[in-house]
Every structure is written in structure tokens, then in C-alpha cells.
Amino acid sequence: MATNKLNASYTLKVDQIFEKKGWEMEPEKDLKISLYNKYIDRLRRIPDDTRNLFLELTERFDRIELKEITSLFFDAYENIDSKILNDAKKIYFLPLVQPEISSNSKSNGKNNLVKAWFWIKNIFSNNSVDRPKNKSGENILAIVENAEYRGLNNSSKFIFPQSFSKFKSVFNKKTDLLILVDDFVGTGDTADDVIQHFFKSSKFNSDNTIILSLVSLKQGIESIFKKRNVKVYQAAIKERAISDFYDTKKEIEENISKVKQMEIELKCEPELSLGYKESQALISIMNKSPNNTLPVFWHETKNIPAPFPRRKIYNK
């Protein structure tokens, strides 16, 4: 993957974008830790005729930092129908993650997801915190629990359970409200799996369960409501960066073609072309991009860091 020369006009445009967005400009720092240098490096590695599009997409890219989490959570919460909150006797918050695994699940040592659920099951048996530590919803809740949230409507009803088994035993399906929290809802697939799991219990249904997300894709909101009749509330709703943004079919096709040229040059994973299920998101939250985001922004290798990575593990 060779780097190409970058003329001064591109560098000037990058500087303008970074200044407008308030992103740190630290060209003196090492490539692996400088957002600015990682971005310039990425711009050099894509074909010249795709760079203007990359810059344009960057202008619409949302980089949500830690300091913004609380205010976005509050904004999303305030968008919840007031009647739902007023009618609830207690309001429980849990991360949007499956809290249990079925007893007939088997781990053969090859499926990391299955092994993770077995790890969670062991936590349940020890009566400990029933949440994976690295789950985004867990991080959001940890921040909110330590914030000053008493100004929110019905905050006196808030409960942040530390044990799912205990929560499940005291939850009243007729009077209480469950709010499942995540930082981002993409296609809605993950949320649907979690809701389906909750709804296996007679205690939970679409009348007492909602989802709260900092940001959601429109397609995910619609999918969850269509499949489960569950409402999603968020601070911001996003659409597909290309297919829902440009006016004509020709523009859409040309720009999708350019993004795919970038992906080929960067050797992005073909199965995640244009983001998971082609969801075409433009977002990074707390220094991590969801796989819904266009991979040209987050795909990286051991020696070639990305400006908005998905993970901190380099195995390629």
C-alpha cells in the first residue's frame, strides 16, 4: 500500500476541517498517536480522484468525545415521550447487551462470541455485575451514574441495577420501565437480538421496554420498531452518508464507486464494504468507530494506523 504525494491545497483543506471541528492538530507527534498525521497519511494512501470525496465525507463525520457523552445522553433522554416516564413507577437502566445465555449453549473454543457469553454466565453465578466491561452501553451508564442527573424529568425514579438476576426478580412489568442504553444503534440487528432475548421473559414487552441511544441510524430505528414494536430515542438521527445524501442516482453511484476504490487501495475487508450491511455511517464515539462507519475511516493494520479506528488490537 503505497503513499502518494499530497499537494498543498489538500493540506490546507485538512487544516480548515480540523480547525472547524476543533480536532487536535499535533503534526509534531508520532503517526500512531496523532489524529492529524493519521488523517494526512490516510489521504495520501487513497487515489487522487477520490480525495475530494474523502474530505467532503470528513466534513460530515461526527467524532463524539468523552466530554460530550453526558449532554448527549440527557438530550436523548429528554426526547422520550413524557407520558412514558410519568407513568412509570420505577425507571431501570441497563446496557443494550444480552444479560444471559441459554443453558444449552456450548463453547468449542473457536467461537469468541460464545466464549464471551459463557464468561458472562460465570459472572451471574457469582452474583457479580452482569455486564461485559467493554460494552459501550456499560461505559455510557458508568458516566451517567457519576453525573449530576437530578435535573432530568423523573430522575427520582432512576435505578441502575448491578445484578441482572436481582433486577429481574423485582421488576414490575405493569408499572416499571426498562431503558436499554447504547452509544449507537446502526442497522438494529444487535438491538433486535437483545430485545428478542429480553422478550423471552414474560416480564418484558414493548409496553415497558424502550431503547436510548446517543446516535441512531434511521434504518435501525425503523427496523427495531417494525420487528419488535420497540421505540428508540436518541439525541441525533443519521442517514446513510451517500445513498441518502446525494440527489441523483448518478451522483450516488459515482460516489459509491469512489469509496470502493478507496477500500480496494486500503485493502479493507470486502464483507464490510460501505460499513456493516452497507449502512454508510460517519461516526466515531469515544475514540472507537462502529463497524457501520465507512471502513476507509477505521480500517488499519499493525503498521498503518487509521484516523478513527475500531479497536486497539493490531493483528494484521
Distance, in Å, from the CA atom of 183 to the CA atom of 286, rounded to the nearest integer, reads 9
Distance, in Å, from the CA atom of 178 to the CA atom of 93, rounded to the nearest integer, reads 6
Q: pLDDT grade, residue 261 (50/70/90)?
A: very high
Distance, in Å, from the CA atom of 49 to the CA atom of 47, rounded to the nearest integer, reads 6
Q: What percent of the chain has pLDDT over 90?
A: 81
CA distances (Å), origin 7, targets 12, 160, 264: 9, 53, 22
Residue 5 predicted with pLDDT over 80: no
Surface-to-core class of residue 74, CB atoms within 10 Å of its CB (0-12 exposed, 13-18 middle, 19+ buried)? middle
Decide which of 109 and 177 is more confident: 177
Domain boundaries, the chain: 8-61+240-285, 66-98+135-238
Residue written as grid cell 457519576: 146
Cβ-Cβ contacts under 8 Å for 144 (sequence gap 6 or more): 69, 70, 73, 93, 181
Return the CATH fold of 66-98+135-238: Rossmann fold (3.40.50)
Q: pLDDT grade, residue 86 (50/70/90)?
A: very high
Decide which of 222 and 102 is more confident: 222
Q: From the CB of residue 102, how many other CB atoms can be counted at a distance below 10 Å?
A: 10
DSSP 272: G
Q: What are 266-274's contacts with CB under 8 Å, separation 24+?
A: 266/1, 266/42, 266/45, 266/46, 266/295, 266/296, 266/299, 267/1, 267/299, 267/301, 268/295, 268/296, 268/299, 269/295, 269/299, 274/242
**What are the DSSP E strand ranges found in the chain?**
62-64, 91-95, 158-159, 177-185, 209-217, 232-238, 283-285
pTM score, whole prediction: 0.86
Phi, psi of 284 (to 5 degrees): -140, 135
Three cell numbers at 249?
442516482
| Confidence at residue 3, expressed as pLDDT on a 0 to 100 scale | 67
Tens-place pLDDT, residues 161-214: 988 989 999 999 999 999 999 999 999 999 999 999 999 999 999 999 999 999
Of 90, 97, 17, give the one whose Cα is nearest residue 59.
17
The helices-and-strands tally (H runs, E runs) of the chain is 11, 7
Residue 93 predicted with pLDDT over 60: yes
Decide which of 105 and 237 is more confident: 237
Evaluate whether 84 touches 170 at the Cβ level (below 8 Å): no
CA distances (Å), origin 70, targets 50, 170, 187: 36, 28, 24
Decide which of 123 and 224 is more confident: 224
Judged by DSSP in three states, 42 sits in helix
| Confidence at residue 118, expressed as pLDDT on a 0 to 100 scale | 47
* Mean of per-residue pLDDT scores for the chain: 89
Judged by DSSP in three states, 194 sits in helix
| Confidence at residue 311, expressed as pLDDT on a 0 to 100 scale | 75
| Confidence at residue 313, expressed as pLDDT on a 0 to 100 scale | 54
Distance, in Å, from the CA atom of 305 to the CA atom of 99, rounded to the nearest integer, reads 34
Distance, in Å, from the CA atom of 80 to the CA atom of 175, rounded to the nearest integer, reads 17
- The predicted model gives 104-114 an average pLDDT of 48
Q: pLDDT grade, residue 112 (50/70/90)?
A: low
| Confidence at residue 182, expressed as pLDDT on a 0 to 100 scale | 97
| Confidence at residue 4, expressed as pLDDT on a 0 to 100 scale | 72
Tens-place pLDDT, residues 205-260: 999 999 999 999 999 999 999 999 999 999 999 999 999 999 999 999 999 999 99
Tens-place pLDDT, residues 276-296: 999 999 999 999 999 999 999
Residue 102 predicted with pLDDT over 50: no
Of 9, 34, 8, 32, give the one whose Cα is nearest residue 23.
34
The DSSP bridge pattern shows strands 232-238 and 209-217 to be parallel
Three cell numbers at 40?
494526512
